[in-house]
Amino acid sequence: MKVVITADELKKGIAELNRPLGFVPTMGFLHEGHLSLVRKARAENRTVAVSIFANPTQFAPDEDLENYPRDIDRDLELLSGAGTDLVWIPTVGVMYPENFQTWVEVEELTKVLEGSYRPTHFRGVTTVVAKLFNAVRPDRVYFGQKDAQQAAVVSQMVRDLSYPLEMVVCPIVREPDGLAMSSRNTYLSAPERQAALCLSSGLFKARDAFLGGERSAQKLRDIVRQEIENEPLAELQYVSCADPETLAELKNEVENCLISLAVFVGKTRLIDNIILGK
């Protein structure tokens, strides 16, 4: 497994890789969720590249960039074990040289849900992902359904900018008790870790109601909201029942939907989602 930092090293490393090349962008502190993407990329391509970059432009000043968990040695061990060919760990200076002033923005899809609470987040995501795609030139890219809006926004960017690649969205990997795996779970104290189960249990209750015939968008949202409100350590930021592609909030009866939510458990902001129907 080759590890590269600069753009020149990356260029040389990429040139040596057989095609098709699968690519998994990450912010590091890897877990089984990330590794599931690497394994899928491994199964579908001749070679696999992974980037590790905690992208400063997708964090607001009051967010957790400074404290974002890091453990590069462990990440490299896990990536090597999962069959990665090349790891790119750019520095902030490599990605954002002095006088950087060009941004990639997806318009409508980024105004709702996460975008309404994190107004500069997706512009940072699409800009860095575009730069990563331009440098790596992958044939297939792998993203997690865990960040449902990010997957929708990046898919839109791929279509709108005609990136010659295939976008693959992989299912959410959960802990045995249901908590969606996230690098941020490491911030949780033991009682908070227990309280954080309200996200997945709320979503699973909504799923069970849907499977039992419940079709009211409002009732499905209320089921999730109630579960969060029953947990004293949790504070709901939003719960949404939206069209999985347009992310438009649904009214009345739903045939299929993306239920998503953001919750503060203590100081830690967690997101989770589930797709129902179809």
Task: Determine the Cα–Cα distance for residues 247 and 121; give it in Å rounded to an integer.
Answer: 17
**Residue 250 near residue 237, CB atoms below 8 Å:** no
Which residue among the candidates 27, 34, 41, 151 is catalytic per the annotation?
A: 34
CB atoms within 10 A of CB 66: 8
Binding residues for ligand AMP restricted to 152-171, rule: CB under 6 A? 170
Determine, following the binding rule CB under 6 A, whether residue 260 of this chain makes contact with ligand AMP.
Answer: no
Fill in the per-residue mask, 25 to 64: x = in contact with ligand AMP (CB under 6 A), - = not in contact. -xx-----xx-xx---------------------------
Nearer residue to ligand AMP within complex by CB, 127 or 182: 182
User: Quick check: is 31 catalytic?
Assistant: no
Question: x/- site string to ligand AMP, residues 171 to 200, per CB under 6 A?
Answer: -xx------xxxx-----------------
SS3 253: strand
Q: Tell me the H-state helices in the chain.
A: 7-15, 32-44, 72-81, 92-95, 114-117, 121-136, 148-160, 190-195, 197-211, 217-229
Residue whose C-alpha is closest to residue 108's, from 152, 143, 141, 148: 152
When asked if residue 147 is in the footprint of ligand AMP (CB under 6 A), the reply is: yes
Footprint on this chain of ligand AMP (rule: CB under 6 A): 26-27, 33-34, 36-37, 143-144, 146-147, 170, 172-173, 180-183
Residues with catalytic function: 34
